[in-house]
Each structure stands twice: as C-alpha cells, then as structure tokens.
Amino acid sequence: MIPSSIRTVLKFCYLLPFMLGISCGDSPNKIKSDIEKSNLEEDTAKESTDVKTILFFGNSLTAGMGLEPDMAFPQIIQEKIDSLSLPFRVINAGLSGETTASGKNRIDWLMNQEVDIFVLELGANDGLRGIPLAETRKNLQAIINTVKEKNPDTKIVLAGMQIPPNMGQDYTSEFRRIFPELAAENEAYLIPFLLENVAGIPELNQADGIHPTEVGQRIVAKNVWNVIWPIL
C-alpha cells in the first residue's frame, strides 16, 4: 500500500501539467517554449503599464510651426528618450496661436489622462499682444492648479519666456519675472528661457524671425532636456 504522503506527491505530479495548461503529449521543448512565451507576454504587459507620459502643452513654438511635426522640439526629446531606452512617451499638445486664456480653457480635458511630467510653454502670445500681465499670471496659475487637481503627483516644468521691448521696459521686465516667480510659488521646475541661444539669431529662425528653424529647434530641445533629464 502506498503511503498517503507519497500518493499526494504523485497526484500533484500528475495534475501539474494540467495546472500549467500543458497536454500530456507535449515535448519538453514545447513546454519550455510555452513558458517562455507566457513570461514574455507578462513582461510586455508590465512594460506597457510602466511607460510614463510627458505632455508638452504650448503654442506654435511647441507645435513646430513651419516645420514637419518630427522637427518640433518635443519629438526631438522623444528621439533622445528612445536612444536611451527610457520608459517615457511624449505627447505634443502644442497649438499655434494659443494664449494662456485659450490654454486654460482646454487643459481640463487634456488632463483626463495620466500625465507624469507636464511642460507648460505658454505666455509668449500674451506678451506679443500686450495682454495685461496680471491676466497672464492668473491664467498660468489656473492651468497649474488644474494639473495639480487632476493629478497631484505630476511634475510640472514651466518654460520661461522673454519678449522684445516693444511694450516698454516695465512691461517686458515684469513679463520675464512671471515665470521664475510662478515656478518658485508652485515648487515647479523652470526652464529659464526656452529660446536661449536661438532668439534674435537670424540663421536659427524662420523668415518671421520668431519661430526656430530645424537647427533652432534642436537647440531649444537641448534647453528643455537640460531641465527634464534629472527628472527622468
């Protein structure tokens, strides 16, 4: 008579193939292949949930106006991320002509998705149009508030901007201060000046003198990368 402990072991050995979904006629190589396939599917599913999102929210500078979409600096950032095999995907939510007011109106639905890093690049069109600075500051803060309310864990990056002195020195100086002040108040990361080493250099800008060329966009991408790389 077979002792009960041995019968239990034998029963387990008999049932094990069925528990693993393996038929009795499967060869060892097929069993190994099935297990490896199952492991790969599990790893792939895990990787898909581990990919984080970087949302670039801005105007024509972010959209890459006048260039092919893959020449805009957010896509250049994606290329850099891919080259380093980092688990991040970039979403370019740049819209030509966007002001802080129109941005405030569309941010809510954009934040219905999970966003890990939010790069806010708005304000330049306000400054060029002479919109009251208090309004620009209020709208930028409202956008930041929405991001925080939707996802408190989102890391916020604010792109600093400067404008020509067309509106007077006081307006220009106060406009420039908006961005570092908001970044400090909200414990956000700051890109000191998005167009550093690009603005005012004719060969790095398109015919309008405002929007960067492909080479200019790569310099802008470097300015952005220097700030977001430590976050990644």
Largest Cα–Cα distance in the chain? 102
The confidence score (pLDDT) of residue 230 equals: 95
Cα–Cα distance between 218 and 74 in angstroms, integer?
A: 10
Cα–Cα distance between 33 and 67 in angstroms, integer?
A: 47
Known catalytic membership, residue 208: yes
Cα–Cα distance between 18 and 179 in angstroms, integer?
A: 63
Residues in a beta bridge with 140: none
Catalytic residue among 60, 116, 153, 170: 60
Q: What is the pLDDT of residues 99-130, one digit of tens each?
A: 999 999 999 999 999 999 999 999 999 999 99
Q: What is the pLDDT of residues 21-51, one digit of tens each?
A: 444 445 555 544 554 555 545 444 444 458 9
Known catalytic membership, residue 116: no
Known catalytic membership, residue 60: yes
Q: What is the pLDDT of residues 2-19, one digit of tens each?
A: 455 444 444 444 444 434
Catalytic residue among 27, 83, 153, 208: 208
Cα–Cα distance between 98 and 213 in angstroms, integer?
A: 20
